[in-house]
Structure 1
């Protein structure tokens, strides 16, 4: 039976035929190259085309079947059958062989991955014509919605277009060393998508992209900020732990009233500090009494009374004054107590110690305890409280303060056990109230701008780990509960992801690190069910959990130099062939390997240029321009 290509065009057969199958070992085969096809280029149909080379594709004709293979190496062998006594060119003594890995087949002008059958010995092998070459590199169907990201690195006439559904309904990984084009690629991917759908009302209603920007590359504080997309299509939050009056990211009250939130923030230990936080947050007396002015006064009065009447010998003798000082310090940040200084001074000056017992001035030692406590109660009644200034954060802090002094006085907890957590309270509250604002959940979700950029450039190292976790956890939990029909779409984009997905961090406890990684691993494993996807970009894939990298569906891999980073990619990315993997360390700037579900085969591509105004703010400084 003649090969299909012979039937179609005998001339094309003679020009494009390069050799025949010499050996078959499963999907790995060896092809013997015809001796007249060793030139680097061929002329076909008026065009100069590349001859066989490592990394290119060939077609094996087996009857009417067209099997596609990728050349992964070549070697030569001396032709022992040639009569060496005959006068001949030295080149004729050499036989050239190709190591080829089978990758798929062409079925009615559509390339399909996988093997339907294996070739046979002496099956003819051919270079691909233009139609076949484009067929292999067409990753989206004709009627698919698609975006163009660039073109083949060595074939600039071949564009790379990807289907929107295959690319964005997946987890995406973008990896590469500094200066390799990683941030540029991230900007290009989302510029193309947002620019395509930005005017579509359904897109505005159903799609949300949250970009965690650690280094301030994707947003600048001016009116001409069009990085990735025009300013009117995005919300920007410039958070700061060092300055007052900066932006605050909105979270609902339900997130503030969450034990995990405060355990993360205050680094609570599981055995003692977490149970203390739990009682502070959810003890009914505290929760209900901190809602009203009368209730707050009652809590303050009861706490001081308990200290004065039930405090043991090991309790600090001025423990009640410490409690008043804590309320005074809270007031310095919030102004909820209008006359706390006056009340504190009256109680402080009105109390003295006689024979180891607390008494009020002008009250004799033989007075009844009830009269003693009544006088204290009257002083606290004069306290003026502004409830309008008590938000969810202040309410929680007040509950923690009151509960701390109550449980220490009653001996439920030791100061050595919960004191470290309490001592972190003031600093952490100052930081958290600078970056978060409590807003109704409906208002948060009502915003129709598709892109949200959270700039963490002016946030301290510790809060840089906490803020993304709180935000990602909240949005994931919300979509998990409210998006079971998957009408809505959320893509969480984390640039410099090694900052929060590192498995090797030594700045935190194992418990906190495990919780952080488990949270993101759950998102990447289960998020697809609820319309939640992750895009992570990093220059250190080695630092990121193998579980997270292995669960990604699409990869854009720029140049990687460090051996450990290259090993991490080889260990976890199953879509790469040997040629692509070996080229990771020699890719040019802007060049990247595309691999994954959206591309039938790994390809080396060059990312298209972005409009100048949409480029990320990460250009390398030109030193000589600053020194001349």
Structure 2
């Protein structure tokens, strides 16, 4: 019969891209028998080298006017001797398991398939010309982040729109290259190969927990730091822009019932006075709430409440304050009253006191603790006693979101660990609320989207946490795309990141992960037919990632392009052998204690002050 299928003839094709034939079809999974001509793991096609039969590499199955595309998920070989199994004659005994992922019709690639291949259909390796059709390299909406591991001549590209609006996660163990990958992706937004601005209106806000990126991205970023270096700006986060619940929780370490009402009522009164005095645009007294970002004085909040708690009265009607000393509001010195006495002579205690002295003492200790100055004494954003401020929130947002560079780095490495979650939540909430309410303006997120990069996310987005950071990021993950706010979650422990947040990340950069719980969490975010790709996570090289999801038309295993050495984050491991081999140097542990006490790595024991003498005129005499 002339039309009878001959597998041996099919497998002896002279096409250099030919790999073998479809042997079985089960849903989106195919089994392919490799041809005898595929004898090596490498193939040279049109002068370019391709790796054959590698897990994670791509294949193409021609179907007339369309092509099916798949990815290799498993490879193997039969162990049965040929003389004992006549059924495999004409075959090599080697096979590949393929997962179908999409099709190309008329040169346009789409995910999903409209038809299945038939038994015996030829399977081909995917060449650069094939993948160029898929990635559409002429489209300006893609970033080149590296090269495919299986075919190093092919660029690995990701879609900017899906990366930002559908959120993403960079996940990998310590030392797998997460920080370098993040730096590479961010730099790809900002510069082209000809050193010109790739996307001059890009807007990226990075929360740098360890201070790794300030120098790496200094040429494309504005840096705000709690402990700024030369060339960096001081980071301030105005406390009055926070929600009342989070602020009171931080200031008092917990208060409830009537005691909480004492704080909320006073804060509302102070905001109301401030609004009446300054007449802030966009808000009226009738629409003011306790959470409206209106400045008020924390010192006055403390003084007015502590005065009420300490007041004693004398006189026949017990209505005359027995004041001895008014104290000092600015210096946080409480007023003094005559001590109460037993009997009918007084002085008498204030029967209306709420019993919040302990909480007010905690508030005072926060105010005098220099570690919290960036939050509770926020520079030009610190209100006076009457609520007046030198700078409003527009100046703050202009620095964070409207700088002259496309990237803004908020270096939080100097923040105390107990305030990190509140700090991150406050920053993210300020940015999100501002862009949400300005969504119809040119400065809003719809007209100029924002990408928020969150390093060490497991520290403040843990599953068991329900604080401001987790709540706000969950809102961004669910609704942010509609308002032009995207999130990039970076973590070395994906199993500890809130599942709701991680499940909303449309693109996953999965790097080397050895912990089974972490791999399981990442696999849970992928479709069932692609989970086998992540079996390679424990053996990925440093700087290598499996990228899957919305931002890439094909799941891919790729090597991320390393930035120049001077543009890499400060996350490298210490060179132990090199440092231990050096001669002992003189050490001053007084400097260690100074940094420890001040909670600042660059603190010194004694400030070095150089007094300049009168300038000497060195002009030679005539």
1:440 maps to 392
**Compared with structure 1, are the counterparts of its residues 62 and 451 closer, same or farther at alpha carbon in structure 2 (3 Å cutoff)?**
closer
Return the alpha-carbon distance in structure 2 between the equivalents of residues 156 and 490 of structure 1: 32
Shift of 1:332: 2.7
2:119 maps to 121
SS in 2 for 1:18: strand
Shift of 1:133: 4.5
1:234 maps to 221
1:310 and 1:410 in contact (8 A); partners too: no
1:260 maps to 245
Moved more, 100-109 or 302-311: 302-311
Shift of 1:304: 8.9
Shift of 1:553: 1.9
1:627 maps to 580
**Is 1:409 matched with 2:350?**
yes
Aligned pair partner of 2:130 in 109, 129, 132: 132
Shift of 1:124: 2.6
Moved more, 99-108 or 302-311: 302-311
**Is 1:544 matched with 2:500?**
no
Return the alpha-carbon distance in structure 2 between the equivalents of residues 301 and 23 of structure 1: 80
SS in 1 for 2:98: strand
Aligned pair partner of 2:205 in 195, 207, 210: 210
**Is 1:192 matched with 2:188?**
yes
SS in 2 for 1:533: strand
Shift of 1:71: 2.6
CA RMSD of aligned residues (A): 4.4
Moved more, 162-171 or 583-592: 162-171
1:595 maps to 548
Aligned pair partner of 2:266 in 258, 280, 303: 280
Return the alpha-carbon distance in structure 2 between the equivalents of residues 285 and 186 of structure 1: 41
Shift of 1:541: 0.8
2:32 and 2:97 in contact (8 A); partners too: yes
Return the alpha-carbon distance in structure 1 between the equivalents of residues 210 and 558 of structure 2: 27
Task: Summarize the alignment of residues 1-150 of structure 1 with structure 2, pairs less than 5 Å apart.
Answer: 14-42=15-43, 49-77=50-78, 95-135=93-133, 138-150=134-146
Moved more, 34-43 or 612-621: 34-43
Shift of 1:247: 6.3
* CA deviation vs aligned residue, 1:522-573 (integer Å, no higher than 9, x gap): 1221122222111221111111101101111222221111111111111224
Task: Summarize the alignment of residues 506-517 of structure 1 with structure 2, pairs less than 5 Å apart.
Answer: 513-517=466-470
Return the alpha-carbon distance in structure 2 between the equivalents of residues 311 and 170 of structure 1: 70
Return the alpha-carbon distance in structure 2 between the equivalents of residues 164 and 627 of structure 1: 45
1:384 maps to none
* CA deviation vs aligned residue, 1:48-83 (integer Å, no higher than 9, x gap): 654444433333233443222223224445789x77
**Compared with structure 1, are the counterparts of its residues 351 and 46 closer, same or farther at alpha carbon in structure 2 (3 Å cutoff)?**
closer
Flag the structure with higher helix content: 1
Shift of 1:114: 0.9
TM-score, with normalisation over the residues of structure 2?
A: 0.72
Shift of 1:521: 0.4
Aligned pair partner of 1:481 in 426, 437, 451: 437
Aligned pair partner of 1:421 in 359, 373, 377: 359
* CA deviation vs aligned residue, 1:467-507 (integer Å, no higher than 9, x gap): 111111111111111123512322221111112111246xx
Return the alpha-carbon distance in structure 2 between the equivalents of residues 247 and 20 of structure 1: 62
- Unaligned stretches of 5+ residues in structure 2: 4-10, 279-299, 382-390, 582-622
SS in 2 for 1:620: coil
TM-score, with normalisation over the residues of structure 1?
A: 0.72
1:457 maps to 413
From the CA coordinates, give the structure whose radius of gyration is larger. Answer: 1
- Unaligned stretches of 5+ residues in structure 1: 3-9, 220-224, 334-339, 360-405, 506-512
Shift of 1:319: 9.7
1:73 and 1:98 in contact (8 A); partners too: yes
Return the alpha-carbon distance in structure 2 between the equivalents of residues 609 and 128 of structure 1: 26
